[in-house]
């Protein structure tokens, strides 16, 4: 059985007080409601430890939004996998399209980040997805396949049991435009065949693949009901308590 997951990517939003309040509220809701989905929140790194101490990990897990591709040393501003591990963080988003675009992260850099996470037994939520012009040129399958194969070395098969993939079409992130459930299902099923061909049937069947891109309280249920969609990576709507808990409730 694959894990159902709803992960909130808070990006560079919320003051410390607001972040603690939201984390607390989500934790209380999950504690009081039976949920099928594992719930994860990814606050800004300066809040990680405080939020980790605020929530109960049996209800809400805390993830980093990124990790360094280097192990340690003179990398000002970076946070290593070892440092995340040392404060008990066991999940990290990697390869988000905003980092690919604004920090020029290449597949090669992302491959190194994944290696760092695997070395510390931290679960990556590895983001892939095509840009609008790539979708319009019918290149989305090829783009996503290349992103996966470039970043995941087949020799890491033993680590891949920890992997979570998030398919996030760039044209749907923060735009209010969502991939239709059929479009999302089509590419999620395709990602599973890419995983099967490269890393074997077991990895393909057991890897949770999340959809991300303008998921909201209204569209979540239909998206999550697709057979190859195991939950969502949620940006904007994860900052609004009412919307986020409805999205969690929709993930069955
Ligand atoms: C994201 O940034 O991962 C994301 C899916 O954002 P949004 O839900 O706001 O489109």
pLDDT of residue 177: 87
Residues in the chain: 252
* Alpha-carbon gap, residue 83 to 88, rounded angstroms: 9
Report the percentage of the chain scoring pLDDT > 90. 93
DSSP code at position 33: S
pLDDT of residue 155: 81
Q: Which residues of 193-210 are buried (b: 16+ CB within 10 A; e: fewer)?
A: ebbeebbeeebbeebbbb
Q: Give the pLDDT confidence of 226-236 residue by residue, as tens digits.
A: 999 999 999 99
Q: Which atom of ligand 1 is nearest to the CA of 238?
A: 8
Task: List all residues 6 or more positions away from 139 whose beta carbon is below 8 Å from its beta carbon.
Answer: 130
Q: Which pLDDT band holds residue 158 (cuts at 50, 70, 90)?
A: confident
Q: Give the pLDDT confidence of 3-55 residue by residue, as tens digits.
A: 999 999 999 999 999 999 999 999 999 999 989 999 999 999 999 999 999 99
CA–centroid distance, residue 178 to ligand 1 (Å): 10
Number of H helices, E strands in the chain: 11, 8
CA–centroid distance, residue 210 to ligand 1 (Å): 12
Over range 148-153, report the average pLDDT: 94
Q: Which pLDDT band holds residue 153 (cuts at 50, 70, 90)?
A: confident
Q: What's the pTM value of the predicted model, to 2 decimals?
A: 0.97
* Alpha-carbon gap, residue 179 to 175, rounded angstroms: 11
Residue 227 tokens read as 């057979």
Residues assigned a catalytic role = 96, 168
pLDDT of residue 157: 84
CA–centroid distance, residue 43 to ligand 1 (Å): 14
**60 pLDDT above the threshold of 90:** yes
* Residues near ligand 1 (Cβ within 6 A): 9, 168, 173-174, 212-215, 233-237
* Of 39-48, 95-104, 168-177, 183-192, the least confident: 168-177
Q: Which atom of ligand 1 is nearest to the CA of 232?
A: 5
**1 pLDDT above the threshold of 90:** no
* Of 21-25, 85-89, 150-154, 202-206, the least confident: 150-154
Largest alpha-carbon pair distance within the chain?
47
């Amino acid at each position: 059985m694959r894990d159902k997951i709803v992960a909130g990517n808070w990006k560079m939003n919320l003051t410390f007080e607001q972040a603690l309040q939201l984390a607390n509220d989500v934790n209380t809701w999950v504690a009081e409601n039976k949920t099928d989905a594992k719930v994860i929140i990814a606050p800004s790194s300066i809040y990680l430890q405080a939020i980790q101490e605020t929530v109960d990990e049996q209800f809400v897990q805390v993830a980093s939004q990124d990790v360094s591709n280097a192990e340690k040393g003179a990398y000002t501003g970076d946070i290593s996998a070892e440092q995340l591990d040392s404060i008990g963080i066991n999940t990290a988003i990697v390869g988000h399209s905003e980092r690919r675009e604004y920090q020029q992260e290449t597949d090669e850099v992302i491959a190194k980040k994944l290696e760092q996470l695997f070395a510390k037994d931290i679960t990556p939520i590895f983001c892939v997805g095509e840009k609008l012009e790539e979708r319009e040129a019918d290149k989305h399958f090829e783009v996503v396949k290349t992103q996966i194969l470039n970043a995941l070395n087949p020799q890491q098969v033993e680590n891949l049991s920890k992997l979570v993939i998030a398919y996030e079409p760039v044209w749907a992130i923060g735009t209010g435009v969502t991939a239709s459930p059929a479009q999302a299902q089509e590419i999620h099923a395709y990602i599973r065949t890419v995983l099967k061909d490269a890393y074997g049937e077991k990895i393909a069947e057991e890897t949770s693949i999340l959809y991300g891109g303008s998921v909201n309280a209204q569209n979540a249920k239909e998206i999550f009901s697709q057979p190859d969609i195991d939950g969502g990576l949620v940006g904007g709507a994860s900052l609004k308590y009412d919307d986020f808990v409805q999205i969690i409730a929709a993930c069955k």
